[in-house]
Structures are given as C-alpha cells and as structure tokens.
Amino acid sequence: MKLEMKDVTKTFGSVTALNHFSVTFEQGIYGILGANGAGKSTLINLITDNLKRDDGAAGGRICYDGVDILKLKEKFRSLIGYMPQQQGFYEDFSPKAFLKYMAELKGIGKKQAAAQIDELLEVVHLSEAAYKKIGGFSGGMKQRVLLAQALLGDPRILILDEPTAGLDPKERIGIRNYIAELSKNRIILFATHVVSDIECIADQVLLMKNGGLVAVNTPQALIRRLEGKVAEVLCSIDEVGALQQKYKVGNIRQRSEGLALRIVGDDLPEAFERVKDNIDLEDVYLYYFE
C-alpha cells in the first residue's frame, strides 16, 4: 500500500498553492503541519480528487500502488475516508440518519452499514445522542459525527482535516488514541494546527510552507535537528517585548526567579541557557514557521 505524489503542482491564476510537491505515504500516521496558506488544504483536495492538478506533465502525478489515481477513478475514491474541517449538515438529521445517508452514498450494504454505524457511534461517544437532531449539537459533537462518517466502509486511506477542532481535552485524547489504533493497516493523513495532537502518534511529520515541503521525518529526527537551537532566558516583564521583536519566542513561563522565555533560532547569544532534554515539536514548529 503506497500513495505517491510526484512533482505535483497546483496553481490558481498567478498563485502557486502547491509547488512541485513530492512525497510517498505508506502505512502509518502522517502529521501535516503548516501555517495558513501553506498548501495543506490544496494537498488534501488533490488527493481526494476535489481539485484537478495543473494540466499535463506540469501538474505531476498522484499514484496509488503505481497507478495514477485519475485512472483508478471510483476504485481509488472507494479507498478514501475523508473528514473535512467543516461540513454543512442537514440540521434535522440525527447522527444515525446522517451516517445511513453517507453509507448509501458510499455504496455500503445496509446490513454492513447498520453494524458499523452502531460501532462507530459508540467509538465517538454519540450512542446516547444517536437519534437527536444534529442542529442542536455543539461544535465538538459535530466533529465526532464527521469522524464517524469518514470511517464508514473501513477505508485504507484516512484523511483528517483538523479532526479535533472543538473537542474538549478528554475527547481530544480519546479520538487521538483511537486514530493511533487505526494506523495499523492504513495510511492516515492528519492535518492540524495543534502540534500536541500529532506529537505522540505521528510516525512521520510533514512541514509545509508556501506550497512546498520544508521537511519530512520522524518527530524524533526533527527534534534532534534543533539541538543547540533552543534556549531559555530569564527576564522581567519589561524586557519581554524587546526579546519578542528580536527572537522567535515560544512559551513564556512564570518561575520563582522571574519569567522564562523559550527562544528558538540559529544564532542565539551564548548567555542564553541551551535547552537539552525537553525540546519538542512545538519548538520545531516555531523554528520553521514563526
């Protein structure tokens, strides 16, 4: 099972949203990080065939097990489970009715759908709300309905766009753990702005910027690259503004000695105390994107 993007380009007029993008996805979880406008949504929409690549060879290729997805057509789309960041619901639908509707659109048999829907509602903790109107749901509950529909049909490729948006911390952990379990026989693309959502479960992390791939590696390897580039400095509240203007400042914590600023960069003053043992993906994100 292999999904390959080879020199893929997508332009909108004079704007290049994806620029000669190449990457290979195999079984596992791929966290996709990048600021707004980095190209994450374009990447997802090209894979799901909601967007067309640029014409001809200039657009590159997207292949599943060596065959272009445009040739596979419906066969490839049947392998995908997609959770969009936002989706309009029929407000009078219940979760159960909505999932039955989506199962029918996906061509899933009624018997298989009925069993899977009950299981998925349990997984996303919506069994007790199975017959309530979605229009009265919170944002987090609607996110869980979207995740359930993405899992209908047991897809081989699961694409999740901000899947934990609107969830409380407990729900976040539960959904994150469930996604980790699903990765044993799937390709999972997990696009998010919340670094902590992928820090513990991603096998690989893609860092995207201006339609290109800045880096792709394991979380551990990306963190090792920042050795010697992360520091903390104690300061007063009056000094914070000046430091923020000069350096990439992440977390600011209150300590007994004063405020401790987390700073990331290539050229840090020797006087700053280097962080050695607790560099994390938040530091990686700050280094590449702030």
232-287 residue pLDDT tens: 888 888 888 888 888 898 888 888 777 888 899 998 888 888 998 889 999 999 99
Whole-prediction pTM value?
0.88
Which of residues 192, 218, 244 is at a domain's end? 218
Specify the pLDDT at position 3. Answer: 97
Residues 61 and 126 reside in one and the same domain? yes
Question: Which residue, among 169, 166, 149, has the nearest Cα to 158 in the 3D structure?
Answer: 149
**Does residue 229 share a domain with residue 213?**
no
Look at residue 128 in the predicted model and tell me its pLDDT: 94
Q: In this predicted structure, what is the pLDDT of residue 239?
A: 84
Residue ranges making up the domain that contains 199: 3-218
Alpha helical stretches, state H, 124-189: 139-151, 169-182
Domain finish residue from 169, 199, 218: 218
Per-residue pLDDT, 66: 94
Mean of pLDDT values over 76-97: 88
Helix then strand then coil, in percent of the chain rounded to 5, is: 40, 30, 35
For the chain, give the mean pLDDT: 89
Q: Are residues 10 and 136 in the same domain?
A: yes
Q: Give 22-42 pLDDT, tens digit per residue.
A: 999 999 999 999 888 888 989
CA separation for the pair 38, 212 (Å, rounded): 8
- Final residue of a domain: which of 218, 238, 264? 218
What is the per-residue pLDDT for 121? Answer: 94
**pLDDT tens sequence across 150-205:** 999 989 999 998 887 777 787 788 778 888 888 888 999 999 878 888 888 999 99
User: Is there a single domain that holds both residue 100 and residue 207?
Assistant: yes
pLDDT of residue 253: 85
Nearest by Cα to 268 from 237, 247, 251: 247
* CATH number of the domain to which 249 belongs: 3.30.70
- Looking at the chain, the whole-number percentage of residues with pLDDT higher than 70 is 99
| Tally of domains within the chain | 2
pLDDT at position 38 is 85
Indicate whether 86 pLDDT > 80.
no
Read off the pLDDT of each residue in 124-133 and give the average, rounded to a whole number. 93
Is the dihedral angle over the CA atoms 238, 244, 246, 249 positive or is it negative? Answer: positive
237 and 167 housed in the same domain: no
Domain check: are 239 and 114 in the same one?
A: no
**Residues 200 and 235 reside in one and the same domain:** no
| Residue 65: predicted pLDDT | 95
Same domain, 68 and 32: yes
Whether residue 61 sits in one domain with residue 42: yes
142 and 117 belong to one structural domain: yes
240 and 155: one domain? Answer: no
Higher pLDDT, 79 or 140: 79
Identify the CATH number of the domain in which residue 88 sits: 3.40.50.300
The residue among 18, 4, 23, 44 whose CA lies nearest residue 190 is: 44
Same structural domain for residues 92 and 210? yes
Angle subtended at Cα 121 by Cα 183 and Cα 161, rounded to the nearest 5 degrees: 50
